[in-house]
Amino acid sequence: MPDIGTVENGGMEHPPYLSGLRLTGRRVLVVGGGGVAQRRVPHLIAAGADVHVVSPAVTPAIEGLVGSGEVTWHARPFEDGDVAGAWYVVAVTDDTAVNERVSELCEEQRVFCVRSDDASRGTAWTPAVGRHSGVSVAVLGNREPRRSAALRDEILEGLREGTLAARHDHGGSPGVTLVGGGPGDPELMSVAGRRALMEADVVVADRLAPRELLGDLPGDVELVDVAKLPRGRSAQQEEINRVIVERALAGKRVVRFKGGDNFVFGRGYEEVIACREAGVPITVIPGLTSPVAVPAVAGIPVTHRGITHEFTVVSGHLPPGHPESLVDFDALGRMQGTVVLMMGVENAPLIAKALIAGGRDTTTPVAVVCDGTMPTQRTVLASLGNLAERLEAEQVRPPAIIVIGEVVRVAHPDAF
């Protein structure tokens, strides 16, 4: 009998040949019913194997699997005939002589056999395994199970966090993914969004998207900077629609990367429509939207029990009374709840007036949070009555979120 396991190669051991066994419905023999068997059996069941455990006694956990019909238990010592018909054998008794006998028979019958007592004497090794998003990860260390398991954990964590992504191997299909990048700090982006970004062939990015992440993109990714596209509201959007559709039709994975959430004043749905019309598949990964996230990082809750039962997010890009405005500032003035004003720095003085005219008190507290989640973040406190002066005095520039309402007093009780 050859000395199994230690196949010499001029003093060097050959590396194992790694393979994924498809065990569905196939007989797998586990000899032994102790702690090692208990760790191996669930993986075999998960692979769909027809698991037979041969052992006079088994652990309660294995017994439970027997009870639920997931494994067959032969409550007796190993017999030579047990190997017949098995595709794969796991010899994990605490009796070296038994393991030895099992592996001998396996060798004769050309069945791969794992041995727990002396891995070097088995014909197969069990890697540390894990799965993430349909990918199986197996790490086979140099008989250092702790190191393999630690490495496996690192890889899985990298996959989960998106810091590790096999862009060209993931088998994803071409199309457009709208990715919301959150308010600016890359840490505040979703795991799904980060993964989509790392797997993209083309990234079409806005000015407010977390730009630091773009630096991490592999060199061959095409980066389309929207800030450099032709100006003008419709011209630019038409060009974006054209670019994303064209690249996707050319078989690319396109990410449309924006700050916050693509559907909150982000024109994201225009891109959805353009893709639909062109027959391009589209996926949406929501982002943490700034009207909620920016006040939060500045320590201001948009709701508070007993203070407000509503918060209204309003675009301030048009002044009150503008023929194209769709906002009823009068109604907002009559309401009590929090108003979160976006794109409102320029029109804030007129909007404050309109809210006061609608019924809000001039002393209503206001917080203007600039560059939320960025290193330059700052909060300017004001009231509806003096908002215009405060914005001027503090030289507030966009991007800023303007929070109007009693929740500002809750966060800054001494300032008002």
Which residues are identified as catalytic?
206, 228
Query: Is residue 320 at the binding interface for ligand SAH, with CB under 6 A as the rule?
Result: no
As measured in angstroms, the least distance from the Cβ of 318 to ligand SAH is: 13
The answer to whether the CB of 23 falls within 8 A of the CB of 88 is yes
Closest C-alpha among 409, 306, 395 to residue 367: 409
SS3 breakdown of the chain: % helix, strand, coil, rounded to 5? 35, 20, 45
Q: At what angle do helices 145-161 and 191-198 cross, to 10 degrees?
A: 90
The answer to whether the beta carbons of residues 319 and 350 sit under 8 Å apart is: yes
Q: Which is nearer to ligand SAH, 337 or 372 (CB)?
A: 372
Instruction: List Cβ neighbours of 86 (8 Å cut-off, separation of 6 or more).
Output: 27, 28, 29, 52, 111
The answer to whether 329 contacts ligand SAH (rule: CB under 6 A) is no
Site for ligand SAH, residues 265 to 284, rule: CB under 6 A: 265-266
- Backbone conformation region of residue 306, classed left if phi is above 0, alpha if psi is from -120 to 50, else beta: left
Coil/strand/helix, residue 321: coil
Among 371, 386, 388, 406, binds ligand SAH (CB under 6 A): 371
Residue type, 194: R
Site size toward ligand SAH (CB under 6 A) is 23
Among residues 51, 83, 294, 380, the one that binds ligand SAH under rule CB under 6 A: 294
> Is 286 an interacting residue with respect to ligand SAH (CB under 6 A)?
no
Whose Cβ is closer to ligand SAH: residue 114's or residue 264's?
264
- CB 346, min distance to ligand SAH, A: 10
- Residue 399 found at the interface with ligand SAH (CB under 6 A): yes
- Binding status of residue 181 toward ligand SAH by CB under 6 A: no
Q: What DSSP element (H or E) covers 391?
A: helix 387-393
Q: Where are the beta strands (DSSP E) in 263-347?
A: 282-285, 311-315, 338-342
Question: Do 339 and 359 contact (CB within 8 A), yes or no?
Answer: no
Of the candidate residues 258, 353, 360, 409, the single one contacting ligand SAH (CB under 6 A): 258
**Closer by beta carbon to ligand SAH, 108 or else 392:** 392
319 binds ligand SAH (CB under 6 A): no
Segment interacting with ligand SAH (CB under 6 A) among 12-20, 92-100, 235-243, 371-379: 371-379
Q: Least distance in Å: CB of 345 to ligand SAH?
A: 7
Helical segments of 252-300, H only: 268-278, 290-297
| C-beta closer to ligand SAH: residue 32 or 268 | 268
Is position 333 an interface residue for ligand SAH (rule: CB under 6 A)?
no
> Given the rule CB under 6 A, which residues bind ligand SAH?
183-184, 208, 258-261, 264-266, 289-290, 294, 342-343, 369, 371-373, 398-401
